[in-house]
Structure 1
Amino acid sequence: MDYLIGVDLGTTSTKAVLFDTAGNVIASSNKGYTLYRDEPDMAEEDLNEIFEAFMDAMTEVARAAKDGTILAVSFSSAMHSLIALDENWTPLTRVITWADARAVKYTEELKESGVGNEIYAKTGTPIHPMAPLSKLRWLKNEKPDIYNKAAHYLGIKEYLFHRLFGANKMDYSIASGTGMFNIFNLDWDEQALELTGVTKDQLPQPVEPYEIERGMDEVYAQVIGIPADTPFVYGAGDGPLSNLGVNAIQPGVAAITIGTSGAIRVVTDKPRIDPKARTFTYALDRDHWVVGGPVNNGGDVFRWARDKMFDAESSTAALLGIDTYDLLTEIASKIPAGSDGLIFHPYLGGERAPIWDANARGSFFGLNHGHTRAHMARAVLEGIVFNIYMVSLALEEVVGDLKSIQGTGGFARSPLWRQMMADIFEQPVTVPTAFESGALAATVMAQKALGMIDSLDVIGDMIGSSNTYAPNPENYEAYRELAPIFIRLSRQLQTEYKNIADFQRKHVAHK
């Protein structure tokens, strides 16, 4: 048999999935690693831990393909990461991830100067601490020893390819999330580079997502158990590939992903810039552009609720062999839509779209004597979805009305969350049964790179049957009333986010 491997380089784990050429999962392996938060606003990963996770996951799935041929390996990767390396390609930093917010000061400077809007209009990446543009300005000012020694800057996927092949390339998709890549001429932007003090020679060569590397280091090839000349396709960013993975690449079809973080995205045939700078535009390839908004606060907020408010239930669930999240959603499902007037803003980790404020903080609003922890659990879930809905309103101003919604990510496994999404958006939500959507999409790009297919549309034949959830009128009446309150509150509270964030940085020990 012929096989393809899709690798998903994530924020807290790397997954390798073995598919046959029809898109059926044959084997998978998921290896986790630590997201280091040693100081306020830090979010870093260890390069060796990620590389070992990749090697272990690849070795396990390659073993399952011993009776056939692996045609190619292709990648989905978390975006916005940054690694500084010296002239000998020795890392000077860990992986500074998208979630790292230490560049907030330099981000605010760019916004206040007006230069940020000029850069956004050319790069499609909103001005935010997540972007390498801001991270490099932070390095230059706060870590001059590292900045002055750095000869190369890579992201995590580019580091992996360099270590395996000695390559120094970055696909258009990942490049389009750096804040330094001109999405109209597909090259590094001179004005953005000037702002960082970095030259083109310090950055990888931009290439098509269909670019192929061969000739892996023999040592690594032997460990994995595959031929050294196995084609490795660069693939794309995890956000754009999420749309492809759920067949949301037609106009007006939105993909909503809620995993650790979340996003809503629509594919267009060309880059589209939001005059208010609320949405991003990232490349899938030169013919498919993903316009949307990412949120910092998705499933990780639900995890916070589990750990901080339902610790006893978590212990009970573990003893009974029940998934804690299933138990919490069951508890939340007993509360009516709208949580009896309790609203939760989920900004525990700052926020990206639509407010783009790294100082944002979470809050419950409307608490009264009748509210219980069960109300708080449901309000947390609703707040995450309300926030995505708020992003969708901005998105529609840029791309037009949404015609349908495809759901993916960890939330897609929860019937309560699926129904909640349909009710708040007042639109049917379809969830394809192919949960490994990012890895599957990466292998479809590999098939195109190898000339096996002519169009990405073949993904529609691979994702299997779907479950569709229709809006429940009894629920969306409540959400119609609460959504405007949620939106107005987010704007009103924004005037105090910086003040409370500064207080926390000054007085609260980081944990």
Structure 2
Amino acid sequence: MKKDPPDQVWIGVDIGTTGVRAIAYMADSTNIGSSEAFYPLLTPRPDWAEESPLQIYEAVQEVIKNTADQLRYKNIKASGIALSTVMHSFAGLDEAKKPLMNMQTWADSRSLNIVRELKKDTELSRDFYNRTCCPIHACYPLAKILWLRKYAEDIFKKTKYIGSLKDYIFYNLTGEWVIDHSTASTSGMYNAKKMDWDDEILRYAGVKKTALPAIVSTTYHSFLSRRAAEFLHLQSGMPVVIGATDGVLVNVGIGAVNPGQLSATIGTSGALRMLTTKPMVDKHMRTWCYNLTDEMWVAGGAINNGGMILRWLRDKVCHYSKNQMENIDVDPYDLMTLKAGHVAPGSEGLILMPFFTGERAPYWNSELRGIFFGLSLNHGRSHMIRAAMEGICYCLNSVFMALQDFGNIKDIRVSGSFTKSPLWLQILADVLDQKLILPGNSEGAAFGAAVLGFISDGTLKNINETAALVNSKKIFAPIAENTEVYKRLYDIFSRLYFNLQDEFADIVSYQTKLH
């Protein structure tokens, strides 16, 4: 018997650091069509991490169009589009809201000298943190704007509007220039108590409030323009919900929406997050807190270096070229995981400190670099791969220890590309010494965006309803003997970080002067 098409279908668009996916969802979280595309992360100099906003928008158009076509072939009509974007992006825009520069991503730390000076004023740093719930760090647009003002004055003077990836994409789809509370709260310029741009911080940055978009709810919608609709094979006037950032939407998408529930994500970067009903600050300034909805916040900590380290190993150490892997019909990451699986927990004493692009939580230190520590002649590429997986988990463990001050942890749900690797999931369970729940839907941010669409049209009442929609697919329990190994090595990992502060700063200074 032929089924009737669903009443409401929202296309959740998850725009990440190096790729975008569009997934069409029914309200019960059923995926009925998807598409993905990729774009490069540009690193022309040490500490620089840029992308082309134009290239990203073209990829966004491609995946929405492909997903819309899939729905059309199934005789299903899309109800609307809802957006999720990566955090902390910044580009100066001209009067026509066209980019004057490449977009600086969260991984861009060229402003580290400015951040270092800001941190010397401990009273100012704490005041800014208490206002914004954002520690002083190079990842935040505040620091990027200060860098532009000091080192690229010609572009700064031409900058009419301060843009993020979210408002740039939303503007191109709808013609309306606004930003959601969630994205604004990740800028370092948003007052968490007033839920608006902070006038004092804007004056400090030399930015007029008129240069920034008006702030709206994460369920706010405008309408798809005729020009965009024609290319996307969708109907003009369709609602486009502005949505939130990918980090906070992960919790919604995987059902980690109740007190004591954490989400653990490893994609290009990584993070641990928990929902709260009010802005939360840490006395040691180790964590951040961002808006999700007008009544809900997400406290947590993100690490800079996640899957990007595996990609570096793939390209620079293993030399697994795309053509080479396609010829033997093998996914390079599957092969890398297989090799790492032959190595015992602890990688025979090899530790990777994966600070290739500095670090965010809990250290908030851009003056860090990667280290393989403990190398001996018996170590090979397989050890290096496993040590990378373990080192990334050590970083997440540092964040986990900070978040425990906010309350008891009941369960941890996982999402992101690392969920494709049972080995990596087991390593994280062992390092955290916690049970991990793999949800049936691990594409959290895309479904989280779609949920905001369903809330906006009244299909769902609130985000808490997603807890009943996402079921457990598999549970990874910590293995006691592995946990003991990792506790010992994590202690060494922590001591290395704290004992090498001067050396980290010196090598970053040396590298910076080379360019």
Letter of the aligned partner of 2:445 in structure 1? G
C-alpha deviation, 1:316, in angstroms? 6.4
1:97 aligns with 2:95: no
- Which of 146, 167, 171 is residue 155 of structure 2 equivalent to? 146
1:369 aligns with 2:347: no
Letter of the aligned partner of 1:395 in structure 2? L
Deviations 1:325-354 (A, max 9, x none): 111111111211112222110111111111
For structure 2, the 5+ residue unaligned runs are: none
Q: Distance in 2 between matches of 1:105 and 1:225?
A: 47
Letter of the aligned partner of 2:52 in structure 1? D
Deviations 1:413-449 (A, max 9, x none): 1010111111111111111121322111111111111
C-alpha deviation, 1:315, in angstroms? 7.6
1:15 aligns with 2:24: no
Q: Distance in 2 between matches of 1:235 and 1:506?
A: 41
Q: Distance in 2 between matches of 1:414 and 1:321?
A: 18
C-alpha deviation, 1:376, in angstroms? 2.0
The Cα RMSD (Å) is 1.6
Give 1:285's aligned residue: 293
**CA distance 1:312–1:295, shift in 2 (3 Å):** closer
Query: Any conservation in 2 of the 1:278–1:353 contact (CA below 8 Å)?
Result: yes
| Partner SS, residue 442 of structure 2 | coil
Give 1:426's aligned residue: 433
1:53 aligns with 2:59: yes
Q: Distance in 1 between matches of 2:321 and 2:61?
A: 36
1:326 aligns with 2:334: yes
**CA distance 1:44–1:369, shift in 2 (3 Å):** closer
- Which of 447, 451, 457 is residue 454 of structure 2 equivalent to? 447
Give 1:193's aligned residue: 202
Q: Distance in 2 between matches of 1:27 and 1:203?
A: 35
Q: Distance in 2 between matches of 1:161 and 1:375?
A: 44
Q: Distance in 1 between matches of 2:175 and 2:35?
A: 26
Q: Distance in 2 between matches of 1:239 and 1:187?
A: 20
TM-score by length of 2: 0.95
More displaced 10-residue stretch of structure 1: 228-237 or 316-325: 316-325
Deviations 1:108-136 (A, max 9, x none): 11111221221111101111111111011
| Partner SS, residue 68 of structure 2 | helix
Q: Distance in 1 between matches of 2:497 and 2:323?
A: 34
For structure 1, the 5+ residue unaligned runs are: none
1:70 aligns with 2:78: yes
Query: Any conservation in 1 of the 2:274–2:299 contact (CA below 8 Å)?
Result: yes
Deviations 1:142-198 (A, max 9, x none): 111111121111111201222232212111100000000001110111221011111
C-alpha deviation, 1:314, in angstroms? 8.2
- Which of 226, 231, 236 is residue 234 of structure 2 equivalent to? 226
Q: Distance in 2 between matches of 1:55 and 1:342?
A: 44
1:335 aligns with 2:317: no
* % identical equivalent positions: 37
Q: Distance in 1 between matches of 2:488 and 2:416?
A: 28
Q: Distance in 2 between matches of 1:424 and 1:41?
A: 29
Deviations 1:74-93 (A, max 9, x none): 01110111121122323212
Q: Distance in 1 between matches of 2:169 and 2:384?
A: 42
**CA distance 1:226–1:316, shift in 2 (3 Å):** closer
Letter of the aligned partner of 1:120 in structure 2? Y
Letter of the aligned partner of 2:68 in structure 1? A
The 5 Å alignment of 1:119-138 reads 119-138=128-147
Query: Any conservation in 1 of the 2:257–2:467 contact (CA below 8 Å)?
Result: no
Give 2:494's aligned residue: 487
Give 1:236's aligned residue: 244
C-alpha deviation, 1:47, in angstroms? 2.0
Q: Distance in 2 between matches of 1:112 and 1:137?
A: 16
Q: Distance in 2 between matches of 1:330 and 1:492?
A: 34
Q: Distance in 2 between matches of 1:478 and 1:62?
A: 49
| Partner SS, residue 500 of structure 2 | helix
| Partner SS, residue 416 of structure 1 | helix
| Partner SS, residue 311 of structure 1 | coil
Query: Any conservation in 1 of the 2:174–2:240 contact (CA below 8 Å)?
Result: no
Q: Distance in 1 between matches of 2:184 and 2:175?
A: 19
Query: Any conservation in 2 of the 1:8–1:75 contact (CA below 8 Å)?
Result: yes
Deviations 1:352-394 (A, max 9, x none): 1111111201112222333333222211111110111011112
Deviations 1:461-502 (A, max 9, x none): 333442101111121111121121111211112232110011
Query: Any conservation in 2 of the 1:126–1:278 contact (CA below 8 Å)?
Result: yes
C-alpha deviation, 1:318, in angstroms? 4.3
Letter of the aligned partner of 2:305 in structure 1? N
Query: Any conservation in 1 of the 2:14–2:20 contact (CA below 8 Å)?
Result: yes
Count of aligned pairs: 506
